[in-house]
Amino acid sequence: MAIIELENVSVTFPPRNRRGEPVHAVQDVSLSVKAGEIVGIVGYSGAGKSTLLRVVNALERATDGRVVVDGVDITRLRERDLNEVRRNIGMIFQQFNLFTSRTVYGNIAYPLEVAGKSKQEQRERVSELLRFVGLFDKALAYPEQLSGGQKQRVGIARALAAGPSILLADEATSALDPETTVEVLNLLKRVNTELGVTVLVITHEMEVVKTIADRIVVMEEGGIVESGSAFEIFSAPRHAATQRFVRTIVDDVPQEHELEQLRRRHPGRLITVSFRDDAATQSQVFTEIVRAGLEFELVYGGLEDVRGRSFGHLTLELRGETAAVDAVVTRLGELVPVRDLGTGEGAAR
Ligand SMILES: Nc1ncnc2c1ncn2[C@@H]1O[C@H](COP(=O)(O)OP(=O)(O)OP(=O)(O)O)[C@@H](O)[C@H]1O
């Protein structure tokens, strides 16, 4: 069942000055998020990710379209009626946004105080959350005494205090180093699997969505240009923007300068073969090459794993009689996607 339903949502900001143009930050976006999913929204700066995320808890109001959260149409709800909806939605930020004058305990207790919980209830809930995020011994520390990763864990505990069913993460790991990023992402995964919270993550880092997202949505200029399972997006990106994003962490075909270097060292025919999820095809590919009496070497690329499924692009150098190489390239093309990069003398592409 969909827990978040965006139907043809647009957000337009008024011009910044008298001569300016209105900003169409989000344009006609429809997105349905199932309860229990982790959805990653990726896009370059200015693509409209933050605005879209903020529409979900009505920090930004849709100018057009409909926003339904947990069965409630929040599109036209008045500000005072939104409190209940917002209690069901936690949010974490790139800069953590902790209260510097409050201890870790005080930060996590804050939403409970606002909700009018008794001191005893607050103590129990905060202790539970401190244990969950692994910061029980830091209860009395102040934010400035914590590392970035610890601060974000406090942010997560605070966002979870009221027991929300949705967590919105706005570039939550962008200020962290790679190792700490993995720790925080693992915690977000536990929030999802152990507490059943639906997680919406926006990021410009593909590593983040590769690590945790079940489904990926790619935004450009306010609109969604592609969406699909993490495996589909990484193994066969269709839109140019998606391809650029995927290429930031997955070696596809070698780029022009890499190809030049490869050609210097490998005078034979270079081809890139793509695999998806299928060890049988891999062995077929190599069997065909060997059977044709060709020599080959793996010169570029590798295999990747997304959600336990593998895919990859391997660039091979084939050496042997030209006619035999041609025949094998044709035969391989019947088994897998093949890109013919030619030889140094400039064969077909
Ligand atoms: N309150 C606002 N008033 C006017 N324009 C805004 C406002 N908030 C965002 N915008 C504009 O809307 C567009 C989308 O911004 P948004 O922050 O949603 O993008 P983003 O993909 O999250 O990028 P970033 O990662 O840089 O925040 C940008 O052109 C931005 O300048």
Domains of the chain: 2-247 (3.40.50.300), 256-342 (3.30.70.260)
What average pLDDT does the chain have? 93
Q: Which helix (H) or strand (E) holds 45?
A: none
Give the residue whose CA is nearest to atom 4 of ligand 1.
13
Residue nearest to atom 12 of ligand 1 (CA): 25
For residue 328, how far is the Cα from the chain centroid? 38
Give the dihedral of Cα atoms 235, 236, 237, 240; nearest 10 deg. Answer: 130
Give residue 273's pLDDT.
94
pLDDT at 345: 65
Q: For the chain, first and last CA: distance in Å?
A: 46
Per-residue pLDDT, 349: 41
| Distance of alpha carbon 205 from alpha carbon 63, whole angstroms | 29
Residue whose CA is closest, atom 26 of ligand 1? 45
pLDDT given for residue 348 in this prediction: 43
Q: Identify the residue whose tokens are 């069901």.
A: 88
**For residue 205, what pLDDT band results from cuts at 50, 70 and 90?**
very high
pLDDT tens-digit series, residues 66-117: 999 999 999 989 888 898 888 899 999 999 999 999 999 999 999 999 999 9
Predicted local distance difference test score (pLDDT) of residue 84: 85
Sign of the CA dihedral with 25 first, then 31, 34, and 36 last: negative
Q: Is residue 165 a contact partner of residue 70, using CB atoms and an 8 Å limit? A: yes
Q: Which ipTM value was assigned to this complex? A: 0.96
Q: Which residue has the tokens 């027991």?
A: 163
Q: What is the pTM of this model?
A: 0.90
Question: 168 - beta bridge partners?
Answer: 91, 200
Residue 346 has pLDDT above 60, yes or no: no
Q: What is the DSSP letter of 221?
A: T
Task: Give the tokens for residue 222.
Answer: 């306010």
User: Mean of the pLDDT values across residues 144-167?
Assistant: 97
Give the ligand 1 atom nearest the CA of 219. 21
The confidence band for 155, taking pLDDT boundaries of 50, 70 and 90, is: very high
Give the relative orientation of helices 148-160 and 119-133 as an angle to the nearest 10 degrees: 130
Over pLDDT 70: what percentage of the chain? 98
Task: Tell whether ligand 1 has an atom less than 6 A from the beta carbon of residue 48.
Answer: yes
Question: Containing H/E element for 164?
Answer: none
User: If you take atom 14 of ligand 1, which residue's CA is the nearest one?
Assistant: 48
Contact 25 CB / ligand 1 (< 6 Å) = yes
Position 320 confidence tier, pLDDT thresholds 50, 70, 90:
very high
Which atom of ligand 1 lies nearest, measured to the CA of 44?
A: 21
Q: Find the mean pLDDT for residues 27-31.
A: 97
**CA distances for 241 relative to 47, 95, 204, 211, 227, angstroms:** 11, 27, 12, 20, 12
Q: Three-state SS for 23?
A: strand
Task: Inform me whether the pLDDT recorded for 268 exceeds 90.
Answer: yes
- Across 210-234, average pLDDT: 96
> CB–CB of 315/267 below 8 Å?
no
Q: Is the CB of 45 under 6 A from ligand 1?
A: yes
User: What is the bridge-based pairing of β-strands 338-342 and 269-276?
Assistant: antiparallel
23, 63, 170, 219: which to mutate for ligand 1, most atoms within 8 A of CB?
23
Average pLDDT, stretch 241-251? 92
The response to whether residue 59 sits with its C-beta less than 6 Å from ligand 1 reads no
* Percent of the chain clearing pLDDT 90 (strictly above): 86
Distance of CA 115 to the CA centre of its chain: 32
| Higher-scoring residue by pLDDT: 80, 65 | 65
Q: Which among 154, 137, 51, 141 is positioned nearest to 97, based on CA atoms?
A: 154
pLDDT in tens, 291-311: 999 999 999 998 899 988 999
Place of tokens 């409630």: 72
349, amino acid identity: R
- Sheet arrangement for strand 23-34: 23-34, 2-13, 64-69, 72-73
